[in-house]
Amino acid sequence: MKSKLPHVGTTIFSVMSALANECQAINLSQGFPNFPVDQRLISLIQENSLTNVHQYAPMTGIVELREQIVQKINLHYQRELDPSNVLITAGATQAIFATIQALVHPGEEVIILDPSYDCYESPVILSGAKAIRIPLSDNFLPDWDHIRSKVNHQTKLIITNNPHNPSGRVWDDSDFVELQNLLNDFPNLWVLSDEVYEFISFEKKHISAHQIDGLKDRSIVVSSFGKTFHITGWKIGYLTAPDKVMAEIHKVHQFMVFSVNSPAQAALACYLPETDLHQLGTFYQEKRDYFREQMSSSRFKLLPSDGSYFQVASFENISDETDVEFCKRMTKEFGVASIPLSVFNADLADRKLIRFCFAKDQETLSSAAQRLCKI
């Protein structure tokens, strides 16, 4: 059969997690937390599932949850939105897919900045559009001259991801100025702002597209409850979009999922007003610092991590294997799984960098670091 996605295979996340299981290695590869979910959220899903929440939710999501999201956006970003500008989605992945399908026409172009998370390119290809993959600078921040040289009147969308997976970098103010300038020069260009790690930033604070005049009305902003509340398996998130774009996204969303898991929506609507998301950055900063300290005597060189729950490390002093070979051998011989960065690049460029996920309990981080220090 002729494939619509001939270059897509099994994701590296599945490959490395399977290898970690097979070798009984500590899994710092896939980005999911291994510590318990807040007991209060578990109680709320239990309580809510005893009520009448088991039939289809409204297509856009229950209004109680969308109202709570509007309040959080106001609290954190001082942006006033109407609940009609919020859509509850089956995780950020579905939000991204629906947005691309709704906005991008055959022959148009979409800018993706590499290394990039792997769910961006396929929906672009399925839309009959062209993914233009542009490398980030060596420090993983955008190379605006390069980006500008690739934008033209066919460019419909630029996908940004901040805080960034896999690098853990957070954009500077100047990056937002550059993006705004680009939008001014290209009136048909939209931004798909993937902010799933929005509440996980450290010394350098995350700036959201919600906060920037000239950007917020030209952006679709994507968030994930999976990342924010350590519930990646619930697969629930949301996007915000201006009216005319939202109307198009609704048309796609209703035929992708129609609506999202209703008990989870009911539980989150009760939980959101009780939570203080200002704490999340500190919570993960302690994990980052702990992991970095435990790794201080290793031969890996740790790169800066400003946000997300990822730590990138260079192994150039350890081996001249490719990053994929190195990750596989490290899993088999030393019992720690990680993710090679080359797989996030269109050209598979290998800079001898690997990514560790530090969304793990202290014991896991400490045991992993002990093993890594022996390499």
Ligand X SMILES: Cc1ncc(COP(=O)(O)O)c(C=O)c1O
Interaction site with ligand X (CB under 6 A) = 31, 91-93, 117, 161, 165, 194, 196, 224, 226, 232, 237
CA distance 272 to 265: 11
Question: Which of 159, 294 has the CB closer to ligand X?
Answer: 159
Question: Which of 99, 155 has the CB closer to ligand X?
Answer: 99
Closest approach, Cβ 145 to ligand X, in A, equals 24
Q: Are 235 and 226 in contact (CB under 8 A)?
A: yes
Closest approach, Cβ 32 to ligand X, in A, equals 8
Closest approach, Cβ 232 to ligand X, in A, equals 5
Closest approach, Cβ 13 to ligand X, in A, equals 8
Structure tokens given for 19: 């290898």
**Nearest residue relative to ligand X (C-beta):** 91
Reported as half-sphere exposure (CB side, CA atoms, 13 A), residue 150 has a value of 21
Question: Which of 92, 298 has the CB closer to ligand X?
Answer: 92
Closest approach, Cβ 31 to ligand X, in A, equals 5
Closest approach, Cβ 8 to ligand X, in A, equals 16
Q: How many residues does the chain have?
A: 375
Smallest CA-to-CA distance from 92 within 31, 167, 144, 146 is with 31
Quick one: DSSP state of residue 37?
P
CB-count exposure of residue 374 (10 Å: 0-12, 13-18, 19+) = exposed
Residues 6+ apart with CB under 8 A from 312: 166, 167, 168, 302, 303, 305, 341, 353, 354, 355, 356
Question: Which of 304, 335 has the CB closer to ligand X?
Answer: 304
Question: Which of 224, 265 has the CB closer to ligand X?
Answer: 224
Question: Which of 13, 283 has the CB closer to ligand X?
Answer: 13
